[in-house]
């Protein structure tokens, strides 16, 4: 059985305002049963960059942050509040 590779993306800031552009810290994990290791740190990057790195490493992406629907809803309500001023 081969180990599963995963890029974990931990959202921390809004970024450029788009779901793909949100900023976070990314880590590459090899699910080999070991514990206590966050994996290889890939940097403070956008979700788009994390997804590309996952593709490059044949890994899945796990996002610790809002879903796209939650992100779009929050961004839409923020935009609505700004436009109403």
> Which CATH number belongs to the domain containing residue 76 in this structure?
3.30.420
| pLDDT value, residue 40 | 87
- Measured CA to CA, the distance from residue 30 to residue 55 in angstroms comes to 14
Q: What is the pLDDT of residue 4?
A: 78
pLDDT of the residue at 14: 84
- Total domains present in the chain: 1
**pLDDT of amino acid 54:** 93
State whether residue 72 is helix, strand or coil: helix
- Which segments of the chain have a pLDDT < 50? 1
Range of the domain at 38: 4-84
Query: What are phi and psi for residue 5, nearest 5 degrees?
Result: -95, 140
H or E element that contains 24: strand 23-31
């Amino acid at each position: 059985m081969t180990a599963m590779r995963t890029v974990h993306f931990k959202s921390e800031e809004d970024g450029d305002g788009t779901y793909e552009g949100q900023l976070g810290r990314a880590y590459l994990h090899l699910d080999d049963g070991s514990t206590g290791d966050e994996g290889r740190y890939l940097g403070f990057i956008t979700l788009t960059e994390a997804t590309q790195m996952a593709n490059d490493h044949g890994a899945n992406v796990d996002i610790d942050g809002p879903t796209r629907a939650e992100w779009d809803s929050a961004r839409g309500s923020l935009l609505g509040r700004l436009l109403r001023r």
